[in-house]
Amino acid sequence: MSRPTSPPRLPRWVLTRLVGADVRGRSILGDLHEEWTARGRGVSAGIWYWRIVSATSLWYGGATLARLTKGRPIVDLQGDLRAAWRAIRRSPGTSSLIVATLALAIGTATVGFTFADLALFRGLPVDDSSRVVSVFASDTRGSNRRGLISGPDFLDIQERSQTLTKVSAFRGASAALIEGGESKTLDVVYASADLFAAMGQHAQQGRLFRPGDDRVGAPGVAVLSDRYWREAFSGRPAALGQQIQIGREIFTIVGVLSTEMEFGNLADIDVWLPLRIAPDSARDARNLRFIARLRDGTAFETAAAEIAGLGDRLADEYPASNRGWRVRLVPVSELTGGEGFWVVVALFLLSVGLLIAIATANVSNLVLVRAASRQREIAVRAALGARQGRLVRQLLVEGLMLSGLGAMLSLPVASLALTLVGAASSERIFQQLRIDSHELSFVAALMVLCPLAFSLFPARSVTKLDVRTMLNAGGARGATTSMRGRGWLVVAQVALAVVLLTASSLALRSVRLVYAQPLGIETAPLVIFTLDFNDVQYPTPEAVRAAARDTRERLKALPGVERVTMLSALPILGAESLTSMTADGLEIGARDSKPTVVVTSTTADGGSTLGLTMLAGTWWSETSDDRDPAATDEAVVSLKTAVAYLGGVDAAMGRDLTLSRGPDTLRVRVVGVSSDVLAGDRTSGPLARVWIPLERDVRRHAVVVKRRGPIADLTTGIRSVVAAAAPSVPIESLDTYDRALDDAASSDVVIIGVLTGFALLAVALAATGLFGVVSYTASQRTAEFGTRMALGATARDLIRLVAFEGVRLLAGGLAVGLAGGVAVGFAMRGLLFGLSPADPVALGSVIGLLAAVTLLAVAAPALRAARVNPVQALRE
Amino acid sequence: VGRAFLGEFEQRVLLAILRSGDQAFALEVRRQIEQTCGQSVSRGAFYTTLDRLAAKGLVRWAAEPGGDRRDLQPQRRFRVTTAGLRELRASRRALVALWHGLDAVLGED
C-alpha cells in the first residue's frame, strides 16, 4: 500500500476551522504536517494525527469559552468545568461507558444523516428547486407509472405551455469518442439548450448551451463535466475551443460545468451534447426526461392542470401513439432515486431519531445511577447553601463535557462506517457521502441537545430531595424513587428499539424476497460484456454485421466456450425501454393505450444461451440471422406477452405483431413462446417481452458467452479475440452475469445493511439499559434475597424473581414497540414486496431476538442473586 | 495595579526560544522545552502561550516558506523582543531573591 500524501482529511479540516487560515494558522497546520511526516505517514501516524487534533481542539475550545465568559461572575464556568472534570474522573467506569455509548450512537446517527443530507440538502443540482418541475407519462394499462416522454410530445409541450418556461429535455447515452483511430466509450447526455438554464447551472469555464445550439443542423458544441475536463485535459483552460470527434460528428468544446453538477449518477457523465429533436420522429419512442421552471407567479397546481390538459389533447390529436397516455407534472425532487427513495430517506431519519433517543435514555440511566450514589454529596452542597439552579447547572456542565467527548469520538466512528459503505457498493451515490460542515453541525447539535435530555431528567429527581432525610438516611430511600424512573426509561428504550428492529426486519425480509425470485435466466455459466462498433471504423450496417459475426465466430472457437450470443440489451441489467405493440385481432379499448412490450433483438441462440424454456414452437433458425434484414418476420414472445395480450400460448402462435421501431414499424410473426424473464427492477414481476432477430442498425452489442463445464476464466481469451477481430472497439464491463447482478444489487445491500446496523445497535443499547436496571435492583435487594433464602426460598425462586423484573420490562417495551413498528410498516408499505406490514415472520423474529437478548441481560444478575449467601447477606 | 509577572510556562517558552537561537521554529522550541525539562508539552497550551506572548509584545515572529515536509505551509521563526528580555530578567531577579538563603531547606545533593 502506498503511503498517503496528506493527513486524514476530516481532522485537518477541523483544525483549519479552529486555527484559521492566516499565516499563523497555516504555520500551525504545517507544524503538525511536519510531525505527521516525521512519523512515517502510515496508519499509526494517522491515528496520532486524529488524537493530537482532538486534544488541541479541546484546548482551543476551552480557551475560547474561558475568554467569552471572563468577567462574568454569575457564571463560574471554569469552576463548573473543574468540578465536572473531577466528577467524571471519580467514576471512570460509568463515564467511559457514557462516552462510548454516545460516540457509537452519534457516530451511527451521523452516517444516517449523511444519507439524508445528500438527498435533502445537496440533492439534485437545481437552483430554487421548488420552482423546478418534471413530468412522467403513464398509460392506462398501469405498466408505466414513471414513463418518459417522446421528442415530438416534448416539442408540443414546449410550444404550447403558458405556465412553464425553460422547457427542456435530456437523455443519457453511451457514445464513442474517436481519438487517433482508437475508440473510447463515453457517458454522454444529450440535452436541449435550455436545460442548464432550467436547472440554474452556470459554466465554470467558457459557456453552456445557447438557444439554437440544439437546432437540427447547428454546428456541434460540447460541454465537459469538471471531472472529465480534469481527467482528459488535465484541467487546462486551453481545452476550450478544441474539437473532439464523437461518432462521426465533430464537436467544439465550448465550456466546462461546475462540480455542483456531479450529484448521484450525473457524476458519471463525461460530456454534454445538444439534443436535436426532429419534429417528425416517432411519438411512441418515449425516451426523454423533462425539466422546466414554473413561470413567475404560477402555482404548481395551475401548471399541473395545464400540462395534464395538454397531454389529453395530444392523446386526441395523435391517437395512434398517444391514446391512453396521460402526462403528469411532478416536482423535480421526484427524479431523485426510484419510487421508494423518499421512503428510504424518511426511514433513515426516523432511525437516526430513534437511535439518539435510545442512547439518550441509556445515558440518562447511567447518570441516574451516578446521581443516586452522589446524593449525599449534593445534599451536603445544598445544606452548605448551594442554590438549586447551581446544582442543576453543575450536572448540565458535566453532561456537556461527557457528550463533548462522545461527539469527538463519534467522528472516527462515522468516518469508518462511511468507508465501509463506500467499499460495499460502487454506486456513485455512496461514494459521495462525506462528513463536512453539515455533518459537523449535526454532531454539534446532538452534543448540545443530548445532555439537556439526559442531565435534566436525573437532575430533577436529585434536586427535589429533602436534604434532612438524605443526610440522615444515607440515600437508601432516594434510590428507590429513582428506580421507578429508570424502569420507565428502559421500557421506552425497548419500545423504540423494537420499532426500529421491526422496520428493518420488514425491509430485510422484503429485500430477501425480492432477490429470492427466480430470474428466469440461468446466469451461472454466463460471462457478459458490451461492444460498441462505432460508425467511423464501421461506417455501414453491413460492416458492423460482418465484424460482429467474425468476433462471434472467433469467440465460439475459444476453448471452454459453449455458446456466444449477441443481443441489443441484457435482460435485467440493460436499459430496456418499452415499445408499443399491436397484434392482428387484438382489441384495444377506445380510450386505452396500446400494450407496451420490451423488444430485445438477439442472435438465434439467445434463448438457449440464457436458459429459457420453449413453451411452444421454436426460435427462428440461425440462418435467418444472415438473411436480408428487411425481410425479418419471425419473433418469439414471452409467456407474459402471450397471456396478457395474445390470448394464451396456443393463440399466440402464428400471430402477426406490429412493433414500433423509431420512425418505422416492424411486422413480425410469432414462431414461439418462451418462458418469462424478470424485469430489471425485480419488483414488477416478469416483463412482457418480444424477442426478434438481431436488427440491422444495432451498433452496441451486449455479448453473452456461455462457459462449458467447470467455470473457466475466459477474460484473457475474450480480450485477445476482440483485440484481433475488432481492434478499435473497447470491451466494456467484462464480468460474469452473476457478479454484474450482485453489483446492481449492492445499493440495496448497503441500505439494508445500514438499517440493520441501526437496529442492532439500538437493541444492544436497550439490552445494556435492561441489564443495568435489573442488575442494579438485584444488587439493592441482596439483603431481601438473603432473608428470603433464610426463610426457605430456593435458588430457583430467586432466579424467577429477578427474571420476572426483566420480563416485565421487556413485555411493556415489546407491546408498545410492536404497535409502533407495525405503524411504521404501514407507512413504508410501498417498499414492502410480497409481505404485509404485520408479517408474522418479521414480527416473530423481532420478538425472538428481543427475548434472547433479555435472557442474556437478565442471566448474570439472576444467577448472582441465586448464589447469595444468606448468612453474609443478612450480616451486611 | 501591580505589574503582572511572567507565568512559569511563559518563562519556559521564552527561554527555549533563546536557547534555540536562529532555529527558533515552533517545533524546535517545543522540542527544547520537552528535552530540557523532561516533560511533554501540550500543543494547545504551547500555541496559545505563543499567541499570548506575541500579544504582550514579548516575542515577535516572521513567516518563512516551508518545504514539502510541511505541505508547503509557512513556518514561523520566533525572536524574543527587548521587552521580553527585560521581563525575563525581572522574573529571574525576583526568583533569585526569593530563593536566596533557602539552600538549607531546598539544597540538592
Query: Is A60 within 8 Å of chain B by CB?
Result: yes
Burial class (CB in 10 A: 0-12, 13-18, 19+), A179: exposed
Question: How confident is the prediction for chain A on average, in pLDDT?
Answer: 84
The dihedrals phi and psi of A259, each to the nearest 5 degrees, come to -65, -20
Instruction: Choose between A514 and A373: higher pLDDT.
Output: A514
In sign, the C-alpha dihedral spanning A435, A436, A437, A440 is positive
Residue A476: is its pLDDT beyond 70?
Answer: no
A59:B43 CB<8 A: yes
Give the pLDDT confidence score for residue A73 in this predicted structure.
Answer: 39
Least confidently predicted of A51-55, A56-60, A103-107, A182-186: A56-60
Cα–Cα dist A691/A676, whole Å: 11
Give the pLDDT confidence score for residue A71 in this predicted structure.
Answer: 41
Cα–Cα dist A229/A244, whole Å: 12
SS3 A590: coil
**Bridge partners of A273?**
A190
CB neighbourhood size of A327 (10 A): 23
SS3 A255: strand
A59:B42 CB<8 A: yes
Give the pLDDT confidence score for residue A475 in this predicted structure.
Answer: 43
- Residue-wise pLDDT for A249-294, tens only, equals 899 999 999 888 888 788 889 999 999 988 888 888 888 999 999 9
Mutate which of B34, B41, B47 to test chain A, going by most A C-beta atoms within 10 A?
Answer: B47
Least confidently predicted of A55-64, A82-91, A347-356: A55-64
Beta strands in A710-799 (DSSP E): 731-736
- Residue-wise pLDDT for A91-110, tens only, equals 888 888 889 999 999 999 99
Q: Which residues of A touch B9 (CB under 8 A)?
A: none
Give the pLDDT confidence score for residue A75 in this predicted structure.
Answer: 47
Least confidently predicted of A197-201, A379-383, A709-713: A709-713
For A378-382, the CB contacts below 8 A with 24+ separation are: A378/A462, A378/A463, A378/A465, A379/A465, A379/A467, A379/A470, A379/A471, A380/A471, A382/A463, A382/A467
- Residue-wise pLDDT for A595-608, tens only, equals 889 999 899 899 99
* Nearest beta carbon to residue A52 from set B43, B63, B66: B43
Q: Which residues of A touch B71 (CB under 8 A)?
A: 6, 29-30, 33
Nearest CA in chain B to A21: B73
Q: How many residues does the structure list for chain A?
A: 876
Instruction: Choose between A121 and B55: higher pLDDT.
Output: B55
- Residue-wise pLDDT for A206-224, tens only, equals 999 998 898 888 899 999 9
- Residue-wise pLDDT for A763-818, tens only, equals 998 888 888 888 878 877 888 888 888 888 888 888 888 888 888 888 989 999 99
CA distance A681 to chain B (A): 48
Mutate which of B42, B46, B52, B73 to test chain A, going by most A C-beta atoms within 10 A?
Answer: B73
Cα–Cα dist A375/A106, whole Å: 29
Q: How confident is the model at residue A370 (pLDDT cuts 50, 70, 90)?
A: confident
Cα–Cα dist A289/A273, whole Å: 15
Q: How confident is the model at residue A864 (pLDDT cuts 50, 70, 90)?
A: confident
Cα–Cα dist A204/A240, whole Å: 12
Residue A660: is its pLDDT beyond 90?
Answer: no
A359 within 8 A of A765, measured Cβ to Cβ: yes
Give the pLDDT confidence score for residue A376 in this predicted structure.
Answer: 72
Q: Which residues of B touch A56 (CB under 8 A)?
A: 42-44, 47
A653 within 8 A of A641, measured Cβ to Cβ: no
**Bridge partners of A578?**
A598
A7 within 8 A of A48, measured Cβ to Cβ: no
Instruction: Choose between A342 and B4: higher pLDDT.
Output: A342
Residue for grid cell 528580555: B85
Cα–Cα dist A441/A117, whole Å: 12
Q: What percent of chain A is predicted at pLDDT more than 90? A: 28
Grid coordinates standing for A396?
A: 448540565
Grid coordinates standing for A193?
A: 439548450
The number of C-alpha atoms within 13 Å of A758 and in the hemisphere containing its C-beta is 35
Query: Is A67 within 8 Å of chain B by CB?
Result: no
A59:B66 CB<8 A: no
Q: Which of residues 41-100 of B touch A (CB under 8 A)?
A: 42-45, 47-48, 51, 63, 66, 69-71, 73-76
Find the helix packing angle between A92-117 and A341-373, rounded to 10°. Answer: 160
- Residue-wise pLDDT for A506-538, tens only, equals 988 988 888 888 999 999 889 999 998 887 788
- Residue-wise pLDDT for A117-169, tens only, equals 887 777 778 888 888 999 988 887 766 678 889 999 999 999 999 999 999 99
ipTM for the complex? 0.92
Give the pLDDT confidence score for residue A643 in this predicted structure.
Answer: 92
Give the pLDDT confidence score for residue B2 in this predicted structure.
Answer: 40
Query: Is A23 within 8 Å of chain B by CB?
Result: yes
Mutate which of B42, B53, B70, B77 to test chain A, going by most A C-beta atoms within 10 A?
Answer: B70
Q: Which residues of B touch A408 (CB under 8 A)?
A: none
Nearest CA in chain B to A62: B44
A641 within 8 A of A690, measured Cβ to Cβ: yes
